[in-house]
Amino acid sequence: MTGLEFDLTETGRGPALLLLPGSYATPAAWKGVQAALTARFRILSTSLPGYGSTPDVRPDTDPDIGWMVEFVGQVVEAVGEPVHVVGHSWGAHLLLAALLARRIEPLSVVCFEANPLFARRSDGPFPWRPDIEDMVDRFENALASGDPDAAAIIIDFYSRPGTFLGMPEHVRDFCRATARTNLRDWHSAARFTPPFDAFAAVDVPVTLVRGGETPTPMIDVTEQLAAHIPNARKTVIPAADHFLISTHPAACAELLEAHLHRVAAQTGGDRGMRDAAAGA
Protein backbone atom coordinates (compact mmCIF):
# COMPACT_ATOMS: atom_id res chain seq x y z
CA MET A 1 0.00 0.00 0.00
CA THR A 2 1.36 3.42 -0.90
CA GLY A 3 1.91 6.16 1.65
CA LEU A 4 -1.28 7.22 3.36
CA GLU A 5 -2.32 10.75 4.28
CA PHE A 6 -2.91 11.61 7.92
CA ASP A 7 -2.63 14.54 10.25
CA LEU A 8 0.11 14.22 12.86
CA THR A 9 0.42 16.69 15.70
CA GLU A 10 3.59 16.91 17.77
CA THR A 11 4.62 18.75 20.90
CA GLY A 12 7.37 18.59 23.50
CA ARG A 13 10.53 16.53 23.75
CA GLY A 14 11.59 13.44 25.62
CA PRO A 15 10.49 9.80 25.34
CA ALA A 16 8.08 9.40 22.40
CA LEU A 17 4.39 8.78 23.06
CA LEU A 18 1.92 8.22 20.23
CA LEU A 19 -1.70 8.83 21.25
CA LEU A 20 -4.46 7.27 19.14
CA PRO A 21 -7.94 8.66 19.86
CA GLY A 22 -11.16 6.78 19.25
CA SER A 23 -14.11 7.31 16.94
CA TYR A 24 -15.84 10.71 17.03
CA ALA A 25 -12.50 12.24 18.05
CA THR A 26 -9.35 14.08 17.02
CA PRO A 27 -6.04 14.60 18.87
CA ALA A 28 -7.89 17.19 20.98
CA ALA A 29 -9.42 14.26 22.89
CA TRP A 30 -6.09 13.89 24.70
CA LYS A 31 -5.63 17.50 25.76
CA GLY A 32 -6.68 16.90 29.36
CA VAL A 33 -4.39 13.91 29.74
CA GLN A 34 -1.49 15.79 28.16
CA ALA A 35 -2.00 18.74 30.49
CA ALA A 36 -1.96 16.43 33.52
CA LEU A 37 1.32 14.69 32.69
CA THR A 38 4.05 15.67 35.14
CA ALA A 39 7.00 14.47 33.04
CA ARG A 40 8.10 15.76 29.66
CA PHE A 41 7.51 13.71 26.55
CA ARG A 42 7.56 14.02 22.80
CA ILE A 43 3.83 13.59 22.28
CA LEU A 44 2.39 12.78 18.87
CA SER A 45 -1.20 12.13 17.88
CA THR A 46 -3.37 11.72 14.82
CA SER A 47 -7.02 11.55 13.89
CA LEU A 48 -8.12 8.10 12.81
CA PRO A 49 -9.28 7.63 9.19
CA GLY A 50 -12.43 9.60 8.46
CA TYR A 51 -11.99 12.06 11.34
CA GLY A 52 -10.30 15.45 11.56
CA SER A 53 -8.15 16.01 8.48
CA THR A 54 -7.27 12.33 8.02
CA PRO A 55 -9.09 10.91 4.99
CA ASP A 56 -10.62 7.47 5.20
CA VAL A 57 -8.29 4.77 3.90
CA ARG A 58 -11.00 2.16 3.29
CA PRO A 59 -12.54 1.74 -0.15
CA ASP A 60 -16.30 2.30 -0.12
CA THR A 61 -16.99 -1.40 -0.66
CA ASP A 62 -14.30 -2.84 1.61
CA PRO A 63 -14.36 -2.20 5.38
CA ASP A 64 -11.65 -4.82 6.04
CA ILE A 65 -9.67 -3.93 9.15
CA GLY A 66 -6.44 -4.60 7.28
CA TRP A 67 -6.66 -1.09 5.81
CA MET A 68 -6.74 0.34 9.33
CA VAL A 69 -3.89 -1.86 10.52
CA GLU A 70 -1.75 -0.49 7.69
CA PHE A 71 -2.74 3.02 8.70
CA VAL A 72 -1.56 2.43 12.28
CA GLY A 73 1.67 0.94 10.96
CA GLN A 74 2.42 3.97 8.81
CA VAL A 75 1.66 6.39 11.65
CA VAL A 76 4.02 4.51 13.98
CA GLU A 77 6.72 4.58 11.29
CA ALA A 78 6.25 8.34 10.91
CA VAL A 79 7.29 8.83 14.55
CA GLY A 80 10.82 7.93 13.46
CA GLU A 81 12.04 6.47 16.74
CA PRO A 82 11.04 3.78 19.25
CA VAL A 83 7.68 4.75 20.70
CA HIS A 84 5.16 3.85 23.37
CA VAL A 85 1.68 3.71 21.82
CA VAL A 86 -1.46 4.67 23.71
CA GLY A 87 -4.98 4.12 22.41
CA HIS A 88 -8.52 4.89 23.50
CA SER A 89 -11.57 2.88 22.40
CA TRP A 90 -11.40 2.34 18.60
CA GLY A 91 -7.82 3.61 18.67
CA ALA A 92 -6.92 0.96 21.24
CA HIS A 93 -8.83 -1.65 19.21
CA LEU A 94 -6.74 -0.83 16.12
CA LEU A 95 -3.57 -0.80 18.18
CA LEU A 96 -4.27 -4.36 19.31
CA ALA A 97 -5.09 -5.44 15.75
CA ALA A 98 -1.79 -3.99 14.51
CA LEU A 99 0.07 -5.81 17.28
CA LEU A 100 -1.48 -9.17 16.38
CA ALA A 101 -0.69 -8.57 12.71
CA ARG A 102 2.94 -7.83 13.64
CA ARG A 103 2.63 -4.56 11.76
CA ILE A 104 4.05 -2.55 14.66
CA GLU A 105 6.67 -3.20 17.32
CA PRO A 106 6.16 -0.51 19.97
CA LEU A 107 8.15 -0.25 23.18
CA SER A 108 4.93 -0.73 25.13
CA VAL A 109 1.17 -0.24 24.95
CA VAL A 110 -1.50 1.41 27.06
CA CYS A 111 -5.14 0.75 26.18
CA PHE A 112 -7.89 2.88 27.65
CA GLU A 113 -11.17 1.01 27.14
CA ALA A 114 -9.96 -1.19 24.28
CA ASN A 115 -13.07 -2.55 22.57
CA PRO A 116 -12.43 -5.60 20.34
CA LEU A 117 -16.03 -6.66 20.95
CA PHE A 118 -16.04 -9.26 18.18
CA ALA A 119 -13.04 -11.23 19.44
CA ARG A 120 -13.92 -14.81 20.41
CA ARG A 121 -13.58 -16.48 23.77
CA SER A 122 -12.90 -20.21 23.99
CA ASP A 123 -16.12 -21.15 25.80
CA GLY A 124 -18.53 -19.64 23.30
CA PRO A 125 -20.02 -16.24 22.43
CA PHE A 126 -20.63 -13.62 25.07
CA PRO A 127 -24.32 -13.46 26.02
CA TRP A 128 -24.45 -9.80 25.02
CA ARG A 129 -23.18 -10.29 21.45
CA PRO A 130 -26.71 -10.31 19.94
CA ASP A 131 -27.40 -7.02 21.72
CA ILE A 132 -24.31 -5.44 20.14
CA GLU A 133 -25.31 -6.64 16.70
CA ASP A 134 -28.85 -5.33 17.22
CA MET A 135 -27.48 -1.96 18.34
CA VAL A 136 -25.35 -1.64 15.20
CA ASP A 137 -28.38 -2.55 13.07
CA ARG A 138 -30.47 0.12 14.81
CA PHE A 139 -27.68 2.63 14.29
CA GLU A 140 -27.44 1.81 10.58
CA ASN A 141 -31.22 2.04 10.18
CA ALA A 142 -31.31 5.38 12.00
CA LEU A 143 -28.67 6.77 9.66
CA ALA A 144 -30.52 5.43 6.62
CA SER A 145 -33.73 7.11 7.78
CA GLY A 146 -31.98 10.47 8.22
CA ASP A 147 -32.12 10.61 12.02
CA PRO A 148 -29.79 13.53 12.87
CA ASP A 149 -29.13 12.13 16.34
CA ALA A 150 -28.35 8.54 15.33
CA ALA A 151 -24.96 8.87 17.03
CA ALA A 152 -26.77 8.88 20.39
CA ILE A 153 -27.38 5.14 20.00
CA ILE A 154 -23.65 4.46 20.17
CA ILE A 155 -22.55 7.18 22.56
CA ASP A 156 -25.26 6.44 25.13
CA PHE A 157 -24.41 2.72 24.98
CA TYR A 158 -20.84 3.45 26.04
CA SER A 159 -21.93 5.81 28.82
CA ARG A 160 -25.55 6.18 29.94
CA PRO A 161 -28.89 7.32 28.48
CA GLY A 162 -28.91 11.03 27.76
CA THR A 163 -25.13 11.40 27.43
CA PHE A 164 -25.32 12.53 23.80
CA LEU A 165 -28.03 15.12 24.47
CA GLY A 166 -25.99 16.48 27.37
CA MET A 167 -22.93 17.17 25.21
CA PRO A 168 -22.14 20.71 24.00
CA GLU A 169 -23.81 21.51 20.70
CA HIS A 170 -20.52 21.76 18.79
CA VAL A 171 -19.56 18.27 19.99
CA ARG A 172 -22.94 16.87 18.92
CA ASP A 173 -22.52 18.53 15.53
CA PHE A 174 -19.14 16.83 15.11
CA CYS A 175 -20.68 13.48 16.04
CA ARG A 176 -23.53 14.00 13.59
CA ALA A 177 -21.06 14.84 10.82
CA THR A 178 -18.94 11.73 11.45
CA ALA A 179 -21.66 9.21 12.32
CA ARG A 180 -21.36 7.44 8.96
CA THR A 181 -17.63 7.03 9.52
CA ASN A 182 -18.41 5.49 12.87
CA LEU A 183 -20.74 3.02 11.16
CA ARG A 184 -17.86 2.03 8.88
CA ASP A 185 -15.74 1.60 12.03
CA TRP A 186 -18.29 -0.89 13.34
CA HIS A 187 -18.22 -2.78 10.05
CA SER A 188 -14.42 -2.90 10.23
CA ALA A 189 -14.55 -3.96 13.88
CA ALA A 190 -16.78 -6.89 12.95
CA ARG A 191 -13.96 -8.15 10.69
CA PHE A 192 -11.56 -8.41 13.63
CA THR A 193 -12.55 -11.74 15.18
CA PRO A 194 -9.43 -13.39 16.62
CA PRO A 195 -9.75 -15.83 19.50
CA PHE A 196 -8.66 -14.19 22.72
CA ASP A 197 -6.05 -16.96 22.92
CA ALA A 198 -4.24 -15.20 20.05
CA PHE A 199 -3.37 -12.31 22.35
CA ALA A 200 -0.90 -14.58 24.11
CA ALA A 201 1.45 -13.64 21.26
CA VAL A 202 1.62 -10.00 22.40
CA ASP A 203 5.15 -9.70 23.73
CA VAL A 204 5.36 -6.08 24.91
CA PRO A 205 4.31 -4.60 28.27
CA VAL A 206 0.63 -3.67 28.24
CA THR A 207 -1.56 -1.74 30.65
CA LEU A 208 -5.32 -2.11 30.25
CA VAL A 209 -7.48 0.61 31.79
CA ARG A 210 -11.26 0.65 32.01
CA GLY A 211 -13.84 2.69 33.85
CA GLY A 212 -15.66 1.36 36.88
CA GLU A 213 -18.97 2.41 35.30
CA THR A 214 -18.28 1.10 31.80
CA PRO A 215 -20.89 -1.23 30.24
CA THR A 216 -20.72 -5.00 30.76
CA PRO A 217 -19.29 -5.80 27.31
CA MET A 218 -16.29 -3.59 28.03
CA ILE A 219 -15.76 -5.24 31.41
CA ASP A 220 -15.87 -8.71 29.88
CA VAL A 221 -13.52 -7.84 27.00
CA THR A 222 -11.00 -6.20 29.34
CA GLU A 223 -11.01 -9.29 31.56
CA GLN A 224 -10.35 -11.53 28.56
CA LEU A 225 -7.49 -9.36 27.34
CA ALA A 226 -5.95 -9.23 30.81
CA ALA A 227 -6.18 -13.01 31.12
CA HIS A 228 -4.46 -13.70 27.79
CA ILE A 229 -1.82 -10.98 27.29
CA PRO A 230 1.28 -12.26 29.15
CA ASN A 231 2.75 -8.97 30.35
CA ALA A 232 -0.48 -7.10 31.01
CA ARG A 233 -1.76 -5.19 34.00
CA LYS A 234 -5.39 -4.19 34.44
CA THR A 235 -6.53 -1.06 36.25
CA VAL A 236 -10.02 0.30 36.94
CA ILE A 237 -10.79 3.99 37.43
CA PRO A 238 -13.78 4.15 39.80
CA ALA A 239 -16.80 6.20 38.72
CA ALA A 240 -15.46 6.55 35.16
CA ASP A 241 -17.14 5.20 32.05
CA HIS A 242 -15.95 4.66 28.49
CA PHE A 243 -15.07 8.33 28.04
CA LEU A 244 -12.58 8.33 30.92
CA ILE A 245 -9.79 10.16 29.07
CA SER A 246 -12.10 13.20 28.95
CA THR A 247 -13.82 12.89 32.32
CA HIS A 248 -10.85 11.65 34.39
CA PRO A 249 -7.74 12.98 32.62
CA ALA A 250 -5.59 13.33 35.74
CA ALA A 251 -6.19 9.70 36.75
CA CYS A 252 -5.44 8.58 33.19
CA ALA A 253 -2.22 10.60 33.11
CA GLU A 254 -1.13 9.13 36.44
CA LEU A 255 -1.71 5.59 35.20
CA LEU A 256 0.12 6.33 31.96
CA GLU A 257 3.18 7.59 33.79
CA ALA A 258 3.06 4.64 36.21
CA HIS A 259 3.04 2.32 33.21
CA LEU A 260 6.08 4.04 31.70
CA HIS A 261 7.98 3.80 34.98
CA ARG A 262 7.12 0.09 35.16
CA VAL A 263 8.39 -0.47 31.62
CA ALA A 264 11.57 1.47 32.38
CA ALA A 265 12.20 -0.68 35.45
CA GLN A 266 11.68 -3.87 33.44
CA THR A 267 13.93 -2.82 30.57
CA GLY A 268 16.63 -0.89 32.40
CA GLY A 269 15.50 2.38 30.85
CA ASP A 270 15.00 4.25 34.11
CA ARG A 271 17.32 7.08 33.11
CA GLY A 272 15.09 8.10 30.21
CA MET A 273 12.10 8.35 32.51
CA ARG A 274 14.14 10.18 35.15
CA ASP A 275 15.22 12.69 32.53
CA ALA A 276 11.62 13.09 31.39
CA ALA A 277 10.43 13.65 34.94
CA ALA A 278 13.18 16.21 35.50
CA GLY A 279 12.32 18.05 32.29
CA ALA A 280 15.67 17.21 30.71
What is the structure's pLDDT at 59? 93
Tell me which residue of 64, 10, 17, 23 sits closest to 37, measured CA to CA.
17
In the chain, beta strands by DSSP E: 9-11, 16-20, 42-45, 84-88, 108-112, 206-211, 232-237
**pLDDT digit string (tens) for 18-32?**
999 999 999 999 999
d(CA 170, CA 26): 14
d(CA 23, CA 47): 9
What is the structure's pLDDT at 280? 41
Sorting pLDDT into bands at 50, 70 and 90, what band is 266? confident
pLDDT above 60 (res 3) = yes
What is the structure's pLDDT at 278? 45
**pLDDT digit string (tens) for 138-166?**
999 999 999 999 999 999 999 999 999 99
- Domain spanning 9-121+193-278 has what CATH number? 3.40.50.1820
Percent of the chain with pLDDT over 70: 95
HEC-encoded secondary structure of 127-169: CCHHHHHHHHHHHHHHHHCCCCCCHHHHHHHHCCCCCCCCCCH
**pLDDT digit string (tens) for 249-265?**
999 999 999 999 999 99
The model carries a pTM of 0.94
Do 37 and 96 contact (CB within 8 A), yes or no? Answer: no
For the chain, the structural domain boundaries read 9-121+193-278
